[in-house]
Structure 1
Amino acid sequence: MSKCPPVDITPPELRPSALALHVPDWAEAAATPNDVHDWTQRQAAALVPFRLDTRGWPLHPHGPTGRTGRNLGKWGENAAADPIVVAGHGPARRVLLITRNDIGVEAIPGGMVDPGETAPAALVRELREETGVDLADHRPVILGRDLVDDWRNSDHAWVASTSALYLLPAEVDAVAGDDAVAATWWPFGSLAQLDAAITATGRTLYAAHRPLLQRALDHLTKGEENHR
């Protein structure tokens, strides 16, 4: 039985004919990975190591995805930042999530790191842009630098994120901004509690962010146990 070929997920605006006329401000001009000339630097800076195939094309670190092409700003790794903002302690904890305007799910208020920007700066900027919450004077705990199971990932372009935990004593006002249609504080005593609260409103938790949120919970639970 033959395997199905990968599906090309490149949107019209990133196809070679379109890029020859206009390059979106969020994307690089390279029509294919052959047009990228700094792979050594990209590999050295990557959050998650990756290799190139015999053509010099980047390969998703976890192997074939069933998708090819590019539906992201860059070929290879696209660095993102995900600020996980939590208020309170124990069973009374709450987490700040947004309703994404592209796929309509509850998600961490994060986004892509801009060219020349650091991950810590991107964490602060994305949180401010999407929720109006400014935590520039807070120092978060970096939880990890990982691949994200983003719906736009392909064999040759994918998302890797720096996730960080901001712990506040109480909720602060949040208002939906860029890329968000709502900003909401949800119960966060456990992932099951969060799931139940979101499902009860007819909404869905973004599956790609579940591991990041669980890691935050594990960190918080361990810290609280150590202080008993």
Structure 2
Amino acid sequence: MSEITDTVPAGLRSWSTNWPEYEPVDVTPPELKPYTLALKGAPRWAEWYPEPDFVPNWDRRQADALVPFRLDGRGWPLHPHGRTGRTGRNLGKWGENAAADPIVVAGTGAERRVLLITRSDIEQEAIPGGMVDPGETAPAALVRELREETGVDLAGHTPVILGKDIVDDWRNSDHAWVASTSALYLLPATVTAVGADDALDANWYPFGSIAQLDAATAAAGRTLYTAHRPLLQRALDHLNR
């Protein structure tokens, strides 16, 4: 997946392309600004480091990354897909923020359904996933996030790992971004799901194609989260092989 932005022309996204006039917008929220971190410390979901210079373990972060990335001359991490038009940090960590996205599909043929939640931050229909906690593995995060957001416990199921990719998350910047492990869980039939934690709601939608999913979410007065479209299409491609 490649990140598309309106502010960065395709020919200037690469870090190897010289662009002296580049002026990305700082997307750092007040709670992560250096002065706030110094006065109040970091919120529970974020690390304290006010700038990448303070991070002591870039070698380890690069070795553990789902998607390889490099550091610039200052030692700052660079988004693997190039310039985003945004700088600063609106995520828990500088560099890669590992996430887990469990795609749960029930039934077959015309009865096939996919489980989506309504995200509380953007109020759009999305895969019930989230960030991998410190010290947690991606498989454990897949199960935990699904259980926390929908009440569905698939701890005894073995999913198909579909990919490990950069997600075009609305919070991404040049120096902090989301990379996700997406996994497909297959069930014979739908099970009860209830929105909880970061999810306002949880529902099963027809899943024969992205167009059908768009129509179903629109009929419910909702919108499908753009960043999850490639992950859902990959699941469809796998199912339709």
TM-score, normalized by the shorter chain, greater than 0.5:
yes
* Superposition pairs of residues 148-227 of structure 1, within 5 angstroms: 148-222=167-241
Q: 1:16 and 2:34 equivalent?
A: yes
The answer to whether the Cα contact below 8 Å between 1:141 and 1:166 also exists between their aligned partners in 2 is yes
Aligned identity (percent) is 78
Unaligned 5+ segments in structure 2 are 1-19
Moved more, 134-143 or 19-28: 19-28
Q: Which of the numbers 16, 23, 37 marks the counterpart of 1:5?
A: 23
- Residue 121 of structure 2 aligns to a residue whose secondary structure is coil
- Partner of residue 92, structure 1: 111
- Partner of residue 55, structure 1: 74
* Superposition pairs of residues 18-167 of structure 1, within 5 angstroms: 18-21=36-39, 22-167=41-186
- Partner of residue 226, structure 1: none
Deviations 1:63-114 (A, max 9, x none): 0000000000000000000000000012221000000011000000000000
- Residue 202 of structure 2 aligns to a residue whose secondary structure is strand
Mapped partners of 1:78, 1:138: distance in 2: 25
The answer to whether the Cα contact below 8 Å between 1:109 and 1:127 also exists between their aligned partners in 2 is yes
Q: Where has structure 1 moved over 4 Å in runs of 4 or more?
A: none
**TM-aligned CA deviation for residue 3 of structure 1:** 5.0
Q: Which amino acid aligns with 2:216?
A: A
TM-score by length of 2: 0.90
Mapped partners of 2:77, 2:155: distance in 1: 34
1:213–1:54: structure 2 CA closer, same or farther, 3 Å change rule?
same
TM-score by length of 1: 0.95
Deviations 1:15-36 (A, max 9, x none): 0111112211111110000000
- Residue 234 of structure 2 aligns to a residue whose secondary structure is helix
The answer to whether the Cα contact below 8 Å between 1:10 and 1:70 also exists between their aligned partners in 2 is yes
Unaligned 5+ segments in structure 1 are 223-228
The answer to whether the Cα contact below 8 Å between 1:90 and 1:221 also exists between their aligned partners in 2 is no
Aligned residues: 221
